[in-house]
Amino acid sequence: MTIKNLFLTCLLALTALTGTTASAQDDRNASKYNLEAGVGLKGFDPVAVFPEGGGKAQEGKNEYRLDYMGASYFFASAANLDLFVKNPEKYEPTYGGWCAYAMASGSQVDIQPEIVTINGNRAHYFVSTRAKRNFDRDVLDYETRADRAWKNISGESPRR
């Protein structure tokens, strides 16, 4: 871990200890997340899919790794890592990184991190382009259903 990453990890830990994180983090249950060896999004950068991160899925790099509240994330650049540190609530994937379309029916289905829909401050990931197309037909309805299912599965409030 580089000095910068160590500093950022300490900063995040301090923020969590001082109670300044968003309320949805108070009920965090990382044991329900879609992680492989503790890594979220299969090593893809959670910021890259947002316009400010480049607007398309990118694999993260080892030198830009951050361990955050039970999940490790990799970033394509130092700038994306910095954006995440400033607002992890925005950049973490919804539903613990499970397929948003499947979550709407209460199922935990793996994802392909290159298939994503951004709705406001929320990144929804999908198992297939078909699942994404179905979800995108009525985003608000599927979000509402998936939010409710995720709360039942994990105990977490949905990210906003």
Range of weakest confidence among 23-32, 90-99, 103-112, 136-145: 23-32
Tell me what the mean pLDDT of segment 34-63 comes to: 98
Domains of the chain, by residue range, sit at: 1-16+30-92, 93-154
Q: Cα–Cα distance between 26 and 87 in angstroms, integer?
A: 15
pTM of the model: 0.84
* pLDDT exceeds cutoff 60 at 65: yes
Q: Which residue in 65, 114, 132, 122 sits closest to 96, CA to CA? A: 122
**What is the chain's mean pLDDT, rounded?**
88
Residues 68-93: tens digit of each pLDDT: 999 999 999 999 999 999 999 999 99
| Residue-level pLDDT at 159 | 78
